[in-house]
Structure 1
Amino acid sequence: MNHISLQRSVAEKIKALYAISRELEQLFPGRHYTPDGHMIGSIGEALAASWYGLELFEASAKTHDAKATDGRLVQIKATQIDRVALSSEPDWLLVLRIHPDGTFTEEYNGPGALAWSHCGKQQTNGQCPITLATLHKLQTEVPESERLPKINEVSAHA
């Protein structure tokens, strides 16, 4: 499967997942069926692999989730809220915000050390939080030419 077909397939399946979630919420008002936790992490990894050409490691690999075509080791974080948490300093960090319609926006694509140095105090679960607002500010310090490039980009609304 070529990258464009893979991107479209992943995008369609994620949009369908969110559509089913909305349908269930309409059938059972007051209940929430929003994907979260491990599912959001896996969705983010699938999006990153298909849009950035990353080679994913086995699930739950320590510190890094994938390798870029240029050899960079990448930690992928996906969220639906205004923050993410890191448990260690990655070589490279890619943060994606997943939207309710199944699309995503790139929130941070830069050196892990830069993000790690701005994380909050370690929580009892061992993770250090960082807000998307902070990541946006840090992103301005990362030249476009150094960021992981999207490959064969097609519309996120395909």
Structure 2
Amino acid sequence: MIDHDKFQALVKQLYATVKELEGMFPGRHFTPDGHMVGSLGECLVADAYDLKLKTASNKGHDAVSESGLQVEIKATQSKTVAFRSQPQHTIIIKILPDGTFEEVYNGPGALVWEQFKDKRPPSNGQFQISLTKLSELNKSVGQSDRVPKAV
């Protein structure tokens, strides 16, 4: 079982350390990225929405809800996220500088994947979509099509 308070404190501590390092070395960036952001995002979402994480790099989804819904989790600190395939459901978050997160999209993967219709697949196989577009799409998702946050 996860110690929710300890987990949240450690993430906040990580981002506080980043801020301190950047203060010590002006002009240098210590922003966590790559695998670390992905793993942090997966863990933040799994904890906040009571999802069971699959093993890392699981193809097609990162977690499963209690009802069996397969959830692809995307986390970023920038302005876009990328998809290789259509997930059943997706939760996309932006990790904030204090280690908390903002939900950008929580809904059916088909609604996101539809945005790539009629587009040529990129050479790297990853379709990019902006957080602004995802935020707009999120407004059209009904409450019954969302994974609820854990209490």
Which TM bucket (shorter chain)?
over 0.9
Amino acid at match of 2:141: V
SS at match of 2:7: helix
Q: C-alpha offsets along residues 48-90 of structure 1, whole Å, 9 cap, x if unaligned? A: 1111011101101111001011110000000111111101110
Structure 1 residue ranges without an equivalent (≥5) = 153-158
Residue 133 of structure 2: aligned partner: 134
1:30 aligned counterpart, secondary structure: coil
User: What does residue 12 of structure 1 align with?
Assistant: 9
- Matched with 2:142 is 143
- Structure 2 match to 1:54: 51
- Tell me the distance in 2 between the aligned counterparts of 1:121 and 1:35: 31
Aligned counterparts of 2:14 and 2:62: Cα–Cα separation in 1? 23
> Contact 1:121/1:129 (CA < 8 Å) preserved in 2?
no
Q: 1:83 aligns with which of 80, 83, 94?
A: 80
Alpha carbons 1:107, 1:132 under 8 Å: kept: yes
Aligned to 1:122: 121
Equivalence map 1:20-59=2 (5 Å): 20-59=17-56
Deviation of residue 27 (structure 1)?
1.8
1:63 aligns with 2:60: yes
Check whether the contact 1:122–1:129 (CA below 8 A) recurs between aligned residues.
no
Number of residue pairs the alignment of both structures matches: 149
SS of equivalent to 1:78: strand
Partner in structure 2 of residue 94 of structure 1: 91
**Per the alignment, in what secondary structure is the counterpart of residue 107 of structure 1?**
strand
- Which sections of structure 2, spanning at least 5 residues, go unmatched? none
SS in 2 for 1:31: coil
Q: 1:121 and 1:30 mapped to 2: Cα distance?
A: 38
SS in 1 for 2:135: helix
Q: Distance in 2 between matches of 1:121 and 1:37?
A: 25
- Assess, with a 3 A threshold, how the Cα gap between structure 1 residues 122 and 10 changes in structure 2: closer, same or farther: farther
| Shift of residue 121, structure 1, vs aligned partner | 4.8
Work out whether residues 97 and 107 of structure 1, in 8 Å CA contact, stay in contact via their aligned partners in 2. Answer: yes
RMSD: 1.4
